[in-house]
Structure 1
Amino acid sequence: MRRFLLLLMVFPLYGYAGSAVLKQSLWAKASQLAGVHPNTLYGIALQETGMRWHDRTFRPWPWTIYVNKGGAGIKSGPYRYPTKEAAVKALTVMLDQGVTNIDVGLMQVNLRWNGHRVRDKKLLIDPSVNIMVAAGILKDVHVGNGLRQAVARYHSFNAGRGAAYSTKVKRYETILDEKFE
């Protein structure tokens, strides 16, 4: 059952049931919390951790950690792990060595700025927790801002970086809208 739920959460961008699946999944629940369309949330996931899978689909990879600022022998950059357990183990090592400026999981929740949103930072490896935390972040930055600005601020409060990010997410939303609506 858990594998089926994970498949619902990370359906292929090309070649599956599309937005209908999003509307019946955790993506829909999270998007209601954030006040956005499920395609927006999924577009963020694609921008953050999207990759080409062995079946040639392009989907987010949930066991991703991005080290923004390394230290203690841990280099900056992306790390993709084959399993949840491997990602949790790696995250534990990073945290134990004092590396905290890292983005975790499907939606790349930054521990430095948003680690306070979970009681145990390792919970962010779980896709369902990660998506709901990301929705909470998006909700917080959406208040008083339009959707494009909220998506930009999900990534960065630097106007230029945020705008470029928002444009990339919008591209994924457009693909999802055209392909599946």
Structure 2
Amino acid sequence: MKRLLLSLLLLALPTPATAEPGRLCRGAIQAAERASGIPAHLLSAIGRVESGRRDPETGAFHPWPWTINAEGRGQFFTTKAAAIAEVQALQARGVRSIDVGCMQVNLRHHPNAFASLDEAFDPTANANYAARFLTELQAARGGDWQRAAAAYHSQTPEFAEPYRARVLAAWATEQGNPHPPVAAPATTAATVAQPGGGGAFLSNNADRATTIANTGSPGRSLDAYRGMPVPIASRTPARLALIGR
């Protein structure tokens, strides 16, 4: 009887909070940085620019693993399954240039990066691939990490230089980031940027966005940034959507 009562009490207790999705990205990115010899917080800064968002529940700002960008439209999803389903729907329509995951690896420019979409959205696999790519860029640029970070976005100076400036600003922020404790992610909110809300890349508008109840809509489209020959991700002057499906 005592064992039965104990079992019932344990079942009645709330389950431990799952790791905040952004913390999954952050941990994977930091591990990839260390393993690849990348300067501390540089890959985290790139992740912050690529897929960063502020969690409306915790206030923490992290790269977000369930992020995609395609056809000039960026979306944050609340689950990995929802993000994968959206990519599959895009691919079924013939869309091939899709940026995915913590580090927004482009599936068209990096067709052999991942064995599956499940792996593409795995924070560790995504961060490890991005780290390898960044170190290759650095080696090809005489060991210059700043030039490598710029080339992560584009090898065209017109686009690379503004991106480098954003990464450097994010790098300074990351070096002083207190990294708040893990908390459960929000799963019932949608985040949409205010019209005319400023910000230049997918990630950087999230902290200026308003949190509204999720209506189940597919989100708002992003203004097209510009087509460019980039090895990883193209970006858009941002309007964001956090989608829960």
1:40-59 to 2 correspondences below 5 Å: 40-54=42-56, 55-59=58-62
Rg larger in 1 or in 2?
A: 2
Structure 1 residue 135: Cα displacement: 0.9
After the TM superposition, list the runs of 4 or more consecutive aligned residues in structure 1 that deviate by more than 3 angstroms: 1-11, 32-35
Cα distance change, pair 107–113 in 1 and its aligned pair in 2 (3 A): same
| Separation (CA, whole Å) in 2 of partners of 1:2 and 1:130 | 24
Deviation string, structure 1 residues 123-176 (Cα, Å, up to 9, x no partner)? 211111111111111122111320010001111111121121111111111122
Q: State the match for 2:208 in structure 1.
A: none
Q: State the match for 2:157 in structure 1.
A: 159
The one-letter amino acid paired with 2:152 is Y
Structure 1 residue 10: Cα displacement: 4.3
> With structure 2 as the length reference, what TM-score do the two structures score?
0.59
Cα distance change, pair 77–53 in 1 and its aligned pair in 2 (3 A): same
In the alignment, is the contact (CA less than 8 A) between 1:33 and 1:139 conserved in 2? no
More helix by share: 1
Structure 1 residue 89: Cα displacement: 1.0
Cα distance change, pair 128–165 in 1 and its aligned pair in 2 (3 A): same
Is there any run of 5+ residues in structure 1 with no aligned partner, and where? 12-24, 71-75
Cα distance change, pair 84–2 in 1 and its aligned pair in 2 (3 A): farther
> With structure 1 as the length reference, what TM-score do the two structures score?
0.78
Q: How many residues were matched structurally? A: 160
The one-letter amino acid paired with 1:155 is H
What value does the CA root-mean-square deviation take over the aligned residues? 2.3
Is there any run of 5+ residues in structure 2 with no aligned partner, and where? 1-15, 179-245
Q: Does 1:168 align with 2:162?
A: no
Give the share of equivalent positions with the same residue, in percent. 27
Q: State the match for 1:61 in structure 2.
A: 64
Structure 1 residue 112: Cα displacement: 1.2
